[in-house]
Chain A
Amino acid sequence: MTHVGSPLPRLEDARLLAGRGRFTDDVHPDGLLEAHVLRSPHGHARIARIDAAAARALPGVVAVFTFDDLVGVERQMPMILPDRRILHPKTQLLLAAEVVRYVGEPVAFVVAETRYLAEDAAELIEVAYEPLPAASALADAASPGGRPVHADVPDNVAGADEIGFGDAAAALAASPRRLRRRFDLARGHAQPLEPRATVARFDADTDLLTVWDTTQGPIPARAALAAMLGLGIDQVRVIAGDIGGGFGPKMVLYPEEVLVAHAAMRLGRPVKWVEDRMESFVATASEREQIHEVEVGFDEEGRLLGLVDHFWYETGAYIPYGLNTPFVTTMHLLGLYRVPALAVSFQAVFTNRMFVCPYRGAGRPYSAFVIERIMDLIARELGLEPAEVRRRNLIPPEAMPYRYPLTYWDGGPVEFDSGDYPGMLEEALARVGYREIRAAQAAARGEGRYVGVAAAAYCEITGIGPYEGTRVRVQPGGRITVATGVGSQGQGHHTTLAQIVADELGVAPERIEVTVGDTAQFDWGIGSFASRGAVTAGNAARIAARKVARQAREWASEMLEVDAGDLELAEGSVRLKGVPEVGVPLEEIARRADPARGRIGRDPETFRPGLEADGFFNPAQGTMGAGFHACAVEVDPSTGTVAILKYVVVHDCGTVINPLIVEGQVVGGAALGIGGAFYERVAYDEEAQLLTSTYMDYLIPTASEVPAIDVVHFESRSPHNPLGVKGVGEAGTLPVAPALVGAIEDALAPFGATFMTMPLAGPDAVRAAIRAACAARGEEGCRASGPV
């Protein structure tokens, strides 16, 4: 029986459904203190004075830390992803000292008997601020004479890069047709439903610090905490138990994680801090914005000949996560298309806003928006079907593996390793009913109904290195445990890893207990991000399980006095092929492999006791996930409302380990994308005050806004890892905005409305686009459908 590929309901579900999950805020050690962070109310200000005397005097308050009170801890936050292209590697202080640079920057850390008291005390702290001019919008911060965020960086440019191949300028000059556009892509926020939280307990008897933390990267978090607190990594245990969604921002290390651990050590009592929702908006990293100025050259058939893009990327007030996101944007800018020449450059720009980090898709939703909008614009320019323009430019299966002369950030190539892109496009068009809708469109318009259809492609380099590892162990009592450093924020690693190991050991997946994200169980690895868990940890689990299977066969061959090659692992035993009654259960072998007395007689160079092995997978390069989203919409031009009539995702993530889980990832990703395309926009005013800090202002789609989503798996194995998997964590999100915008534009073709921004920000934006298009041409088109 093979378990890889089967739709096994998840093994981790029962406890989550019964209310027995173990989320960070559920941890409640004896003697617990609770913390609250006093934050900057200004986008940019000098701190003249802080007076915490009244707060310290409040009964129940145990400590108030300001910058000056932090001792025995490194006070500068680290650069998480240093990079030679960063000109100014600015990170924040644990607590602001002289200047605050975004609304929400931590200024003081209050620890009290309860959180209610800590919040009371924070209100008693007096901070005298002298407001400074704030750089709010990206466009302003990037323009000459903008307001500097850091006094020593007058132009606000944090870093820059240029990437490309071929002579793009010459290619454009020689192109029969050219087209130039600007795209404005706004800030969005991942908003996992569980806010960030950290609990720390320091045991002075053993000098051990335990930190429960909502992190996507417990092992790097441990390293950073140890370094900042002056401890060895063996003295710090980070437990990332159940995590209520991650999507990127929980990969980042934040000051609060360090402040909690520091306070627990200083005060000798456990300390907890839990973010509230408003804090998550001001003080958890968000992503974007980007402004692209793109020029493309193409021929009369709509084939791309060259692309030149310059974009500005907003990094916020600091740049701990480096240039990862804009770099990823550049690498995916050509989508699934063959283009002979590319020149792309970007500048990362400081603003007085919360710093940014990769968020599900990590820069790819922007590259998908740009290239897919260009496909639609070319089609319109030449009077072609948008689907046909895509068909003409797609990388064909016979060109695989197809490489661009670009080097990805793992050092590997940008390679389209396997798949049938034209086949996937045709499937997406057929499923959404592209031809039928086209045929019926004119008649519908006659009845005053505006229906449109579109498809958009995505690609994502997934499953990159450097490595992940997994430990597999058969215990003498029969428990089979699997541990990995890759945490889970809902992706189902407990189940998929059990499926992989079950196949190798010949046991039921239900027998396997998977632990993720506890550095005491396994402490080599990086974390879950960039759609890499299944590829890296999955293959590592397979490697470790195979080693254990080999050990089991070797021991069993001694015990049964048969040749190891004649043995198989099945039904929990190692048994003679074809003679199932001759066999020995795994737990018995585990006991034999760890004897209390006697002689073992193995080669000391290779011997290890027990049935246990570590497996590590270090991919030579990433693998390319790819696919198409297609959708049909109906737009009411008089109200600007958009109804999604049909939504289809055709995707290729290589081998599907568990179709239930993969489909869940894709559908969930698409819902996130719909939010990003329509509703979600992090808005700041001119003084860099955040305007969207509740779920009443920042609109997350509910079940009523998300349509049914039809998912089709195209499985083409990746040649770059033994399981043949490609990552899928972000696939659902990437081309949602261009697919929807394409369909809306198609519906509104009689008006000629166009959309070059993301998100659309609701019906108002749709109506504004119609009005703008009408104004540009005189009122004719508008009157046809009544007042708009």
Chain B
Amino acid sequence: MADGKVAVALTVNGERREALVEPRLLLSDFIRHVLRLTGTHVGCEHGVCGACTVLVDGAACRSCLLFAVQANGAEIVTVEGLAGPDGALAPLQQAFRDCHALQCGYCTPGFLISAHAFLRDTPDAAERSDAEIRSALSGNLCRCTGYQAIVKAVRQAAPAYREAGLEERR
């Protein structure tokens, strides 16, 4: 501890990152301002809008409700980590584009991470009702789209996740 600062070491999108941070630094500010990964957005800083959602050890979490020091040792995935290594859009991202599931794009990174976690954990998502998909997305606010196109995009991306899941089990 130097200067009241604390060392954190974590993996972000597969890369190991280390820094000295104030204990009060929010994980969202750490990701955005220290790591300069600005794809993760901040809409409310009180845990309602979901714009700051990232994967922490595989679970979709609101990074504005965590301190960076709490993520010490964790594996984090942000929106920047979703695309393929060649930068090609992942099927979920492509589905968002095909379905016009984003307008201003401010909520989009949060939705992508939440939807990614949902689809990964729900192999039969394509057969689920609209109400179930909507409920899975109801922790994220969007002020532009009215959600309809987002629901459609999540449905469209579902088969790609099922195939990837089968592949993994094989």
Contact = CB atoms under 8 A, between A and B. Distances in A.
B143 interface: yes
A194 B38 contact: no
Interface string B60-86: 000000000000000000111011000
Contacts of A10: 97, 100
A702 B100 contact: no
A756 B108 CA distance: 37
Interface residues of B, number: 60
A17 B45 contact: no
B146 A670 contact: yes
B151 interface: yes
Contacts of A276: 45
Interface stretch (A444-452, A660-668, A780-788): A660-668
Nearest to A669: B146
A191 B96 CA distance: 23
A664 B104 contact: no
A248 to B, nearest CB: 12
Given A490-B144, A661-B100, A704-B135, A19 B39 contact: yes
A25 interface: yes
A191 B143 contact: yes
A452 B25 CA distance: 52
Interface stretch (B46-54, B120-128, B162-170): B46-54
Interface in A247-301: 247, 276-277
Nearest to B95: A17
A244 B133 CA distance: 24
Interface string A658-687: 001101100111111000000000000000
Given A490-B144, A696-B46, A704 B97 contact: no
A703 B103 contact: no
B106 A194 contact: yes
A661 B150 CA distance: 14
Contact of A244 (B32, B40, B105): B105
A242 B98 CA distance: 20
B116 interface: no
Interface in B10-47: 22, 24-25, 32-33, 36-46
A580 interface: no
A526 B82 CA distance: 38
Given A18-B89, A671-B147, A700 B141 contact: yes
Contacts of B138: 702-704
Q: In terms of DSSP, what is the predominant structure of the interface of chain B?
A: loop
Nearest to A7: B100
Interface string B111-142: 01000000000000000001101110111111
B87 interface: yes
A466 interface: no
Contacts of A660: 100
A136 interface: no
Contact of A16 (B36, B102, B150): B102
A711 to B, nearest CB: 9
A702 B36 CA distance: 29
Q: Which of B46, B51, B102 has the most CB of A within 10 A?
A: B102
B145 interface: yes
Contact of B93 (A18, A244, A490): A18
Contacts, number: 177
Nearest to A21: B105
B151 to A, nearest CB: 7
A325 interface: no
A19 B46 contact: no
B46 A702 contact: no
Contact of B97 (A17, A21, A195, A663): A17
A663 B86 CA distance: 32
A519 B78 CA distance: 32
A192 interface: yes
Contacts of A116: 22, 24-25
Contact of A667 (B37, B133, B145): B145
B129 to A, nearest CB: 11
A20 interface: yes
Contacts of A244: 41, 43, 104-107
A83 to B, nearest CB: 30
A657 B37 CA distance: 35
A773 interface: no
Nearest to B94: A17
B8 interface: no
A9 interface: yes
B43 A195 contact: yes
A694 B46 contact: yes
Given A667-B149, A703-B151, A17 B112 contact: yes
B87 A193 contact: no
Interface size class, chain A: 35 or more
Given A490-B103, A668-B103, A706-B148, A18 B43 contact: no
Interface string A696-709: 10001011101011
Contacts of A489: 104
Nearest to A280: B44
B138 to A, nearest CB: 4
Contact of A193 (B46, B104, B150): B104
Interface in A1-31: 9-10, 12-14, 16-21, 23, 25-26, 28
A695 interface: yes
B28 to A, nearest CB: 11
Nearest to A195: B43
A696 B49 CA distance: 10
Contact of A700 (B24, B112, B143): B143
B13 to A, nearest CB: 10
A694 B78 contact: no
B144 A668 contact: yes
B131 A704 contact: yes
A228 to B, nearest CB: 28
A243 interface: yes
Nearest to B25: A116
A245 interface: yes
Contact of A28 (B36, B89, B96, B149): B36
Given A16-B102, A116-B22, A242-B104, A193 B49 contact: yes
Given A13-B96, A14-B97, A192-B104, A703 B134 contact: yes
B164 to A, nearest CB: 18
30 contacts: A17-B105, A17-B112, A18-B83, A18-B87, A19-B39, A19-B80, A20-B80, A21-B38, A21-B106, A192-B106, A193-B144, A194-B104, A244-B41, A244-B105, A245-B103, A245-B144, A277-B45, A277-B49, A492-B103, A668-B145, A671-B145, A672-B146, A694-B44, A694-B48, A702-B139, A702-B147, A703-B134, A703-B137, A704-B131, A708-B130
Interface of B: 22, 24-25, 32-33, 36-46, 48-49, 51, 78-80, 82-83, 87, 89, 93, 96-98, 100, 102-109, 112, 130-131, 133-135, 137-151
Closest 8 CB pairs of A and B: A19-B39, A244-B106, A490-B104, A490-B103, A16-B105, A671-B146, A695-B48, A19-B79
Given A20-B39, A244-B43, A694-B46, 9 more contacts: A116-B25, A245-B104, A276-B45, A671-B145, A672-B146, A695-B141, A704-B135, A706-B148, A708-B148
